[in-house]
Amino acid sequence: MVWGHWNVWGSLVWFGFMFPPADLLSEKDMEVLLQATGCSSELLRPLCRTDCLSERYRSFTGECNNRQHPKWGAANTAYSRWLHPEYEDFRGAPRGWDPEHTYNNFTLPPVRLVSQEVLLTQNDDISLDTSLSHLLVEWGQWIDHDLALTPQSPSTSAFRTGVDCTRTCSRDTPCFPIQIPLSDPRTGIQSCMPFFRSAPSCVGGALAGTPPHHHREQLNAITSFVDASMVYGSSSSLAAALRDSSSRLGRLALNDQASDQGLAYMPYLPRLQGHLDPCGPRRGSVDNFTREQDNITSCFQAGDSRANEHLGMIALHTLFLREHNRLVEQLHLLNPHWGPDTLYQEARKIIGAIHQILTWEHYLPRVLGETATSQLMPTFRGYDPETDPSISNVFSAAAFRFAHVTVQPVVARLGSGYSLSPEHPSLPLHHSLFASWRVVQEGGIDPILRGLLLSPAKLQLPGQMMVEELTERLFQAQGGLPLDLAALNLQRGRDHGLPGYSSWRALCGLSVPNTTSDLADILGSPGLAEKFRSLYGTPQNIDVWVGAISEPPLAGGRVGPLLACLLARQFRALRDGDRFWWEREGVFTGAQRAALHAVSLSRIICDNTRIAHVPSDPFRHTVSPDDMLACNHALIPHLNLSAWKEPDTGNTHSTLKTGPPKDNNITDGL
- Write the pLDDT tens digit of every residue in 488-505: 999 999 999 999 999 999
Mean pLDDT over 596-618 rounds to 97
> The domain spanning residue 145 has which CATH number?
1.10.640.10
In this structure, is residue 535 part of a structural domain?
no
What is the C-alpha separation between 336 and 585, in angstroms, rounded?
27
Domain count of the chain? 2
Q: Which of 97-101, 459-463, 552-556, 630-634 shows the lowest mean pLDDT across its residues? A: 459-463
Q: Which of 4-18, 254-268, 448-462 shows the lowest mean pLDDT across its residues? A: 4-18
The single-letter code of the amino acid at 257 is: Q
Largest CA distance in the chain: 75
Q: Please tell me whether residues 35 and 147 are part of one structural domain.
A: no
What pLDDT is stored for residue 16 in this prediction? Answer: 33
Instruction: Indicate whether 642 pLDDT > 90.
Output: yes
What pLDDT is stored for residue 283 in this prediction? Answer: 59
What pLDDT is stored for residue 53 in this prediction? Answer: 87
Question: Could you tell me how far CA 290 lies from the centroid of its own chain?
Answer: 31
Instruction: Indicate whether 208 pLDDT > 80.
Output: no
Q: Please tell me whether residues 112 and 219 are part of one structural domain.
A: yes
Confidence of residue 455 (pLDDT cuts 50, 70, 90): very high
Instruction: Indicate whether 469 pLDDT > 50.
Output: yes
Confidence of residue 155 (pLDDT cuts 50, 70, 90): confident
Q: Determine if residue 337 is labeled as part of a ligand binding site.
A: no
What pLDDT is stored for residue 26 in this prediction? Answer: 58
What pLDDT is stored for residue 265 in this prediction? Answer: 98
CB-facing half-sphere around the CA of 277: CA atoms within 13 A: 23
Q: Which of 212-226, 299-313, 514-528, 577-591 shows the lowest mean pLDDT across its residues? A: 212-226
What pLDDT is stored for residue 17 in this prediction? Answer: 31
Count CB atoms within 10 A of the CB of residue 648: 10
What pLDDT is stored for residue 319 in this prediction? Answer: 98
Q: Please tell me whether residues 14 and 87 are part of one structural domain.
A: no
Confidence of residue 222 (pLDDT cuts 50, 70, 90): very high
Q: Please tell me whether residues 400 and 479 are part of one structural domain.
A: yes
Q: What percent of the chain has pLDDT over 90?
A: 75
What is the C-alpha separation between 387 and 574, in angstroms, rounded?
9
Instruction: Indicate whether 3 pLDDT > 80.
Output: no
Confidence of residue 276 (pLDDT cuts 50, 70, 90): confident
Q: Which helix (H) or strand (E) holds 276?
A: none
- Write the pLDDT tens digit of every residue in 17-29: 333 333 445 556 5
Q: Please tell me whether residues 88 and 106 are part of one structural domain.
A: yes
In this structure, is residue 183 part of a structural domain?
no
DSSP-derived 3-state class of residue 140: helix
Mean pLDDT over 427-455 rounds to 96
Q: Please tell me whether residues 97 and 26 are part of one structural domain.
A: no
Instruction: Indicate whether 263 pLDDT > 50.
Output: yes
Backbone angles phi, psi at 132, to 5 degrees: -120, 145
In this structure, is residue 177 part of a structural domain?
no
DSSP-derived 3-state class of residue 458: strand
Q: Please tell me whether residues 490 and 611 are part of one structural domain.
A: yes
What is the C-alpha separation between 357 and 349, in angstroms, rounded?
12
Confidence of residue 204 (pLDDT cuts 50, 70, 90): low
In this structure, is residue 257 part of a structural domain?
yes
Active site residues: 145
In this structure, is residue 508 part of a structural domain?
no
CB-facing half-sphere around the CA of 362: CA atoms within 13 A: 25
Question: Could you tell me how far CA 91 lies from the centroid of its own chain?
Answer: 28
What pLDDT is stored for residue 160 in this prediction? Answer: 85
Count CB atoms within 10 A of the CB of residue 25: 17
Q: Please tell me whether residues 234 and 367 are part of one structural domain.
A: yes
Instruction: Indicate whether 351 pLDDT > 70.
Output: yes
Q: Please tell me whether residues 25 and 100 are part of one structural domain.
A: no
pLDDT, the chain, mean: 88
Helices (H), 39-193: 39-43, 52-56, 111-114, 134-147
In this structure, is residue 163 part of a structural domain?
no
Domain that holds residue 469: 45-151+198-500+543-655
Structure-model confidence comparison of residues 365 and 424, the more confident one: 365
List the one residue out of 43, 53, 652, 15 whose CA is nearest residue 349. Answer: 53
In this structure, is residue 473 part of a structural domain?
yes
CA distances from 100 to 96, 105, 106, 108, 320 (A): 8, 11, 9, 8, 49
Q: Are 165 and 158 in contact (CB under 8 A)?
A: yes
Instruction: Indicate whether 406 pLDDT > 90.
Output: yes
What pLDDT is stored for residue 494 in this prediction? Answer: 98
CA distances from 181 to 95, 186, 445, 456, 539 (A): 18, 9, 41, 34, 22
Q: Are 99 and 591 in contact (CB under 8 A)?
A: no
Confidence of residue 478 (pLDDT cuts 50, 70, 90): low
Query: From the DSSP assignment, how many helices (H) and strands (E) are in the chain?
Result: 24, 16
Count CB atoms within 10 A of the CB of residue 217: 27
In this structure, the strands spanning 102-103 and 106-107 are antiparallel
- Write the pLDDT tens digit of every residue in 517-558: 999 999 999 999 999 999 999 999 999 999 999 999 999 999
What pLDDT is stored for residue 286 in this prediction? Answer: 43
Q: Please tell me whether residues 4 and 143 are part of one structural domain.
A: no
Mean pLDDT over 405-433 rounds to 94
In this structure, is residue 517 part of a structural domain?
no
Instruction: Indicate whether 7 pLDDT > 50.
Output: no
List the one residue out of 400, 379, 510, 7 whose CA is nearest residue 216. Answer: 7
DSSP-derived 3-state class of residue 643: helix
Q: Please tell me whether residues 33 and 49 are part of one structural domain.
A: no
What is the C-alpha separation between 233 and 128, in angstroms, rounded?
35
What pLDDT is stored for residue 118 in this prediction? Answer: 96
Highest mean pLDDT among 16-30, 274-288, 431-445: 431-445
Q: Please tell me whether residues 12 and 98 are part of one structural domain.
A: no
- Write the pLDDT tens digit of every residue in 374-388: 999 999 999 999 999
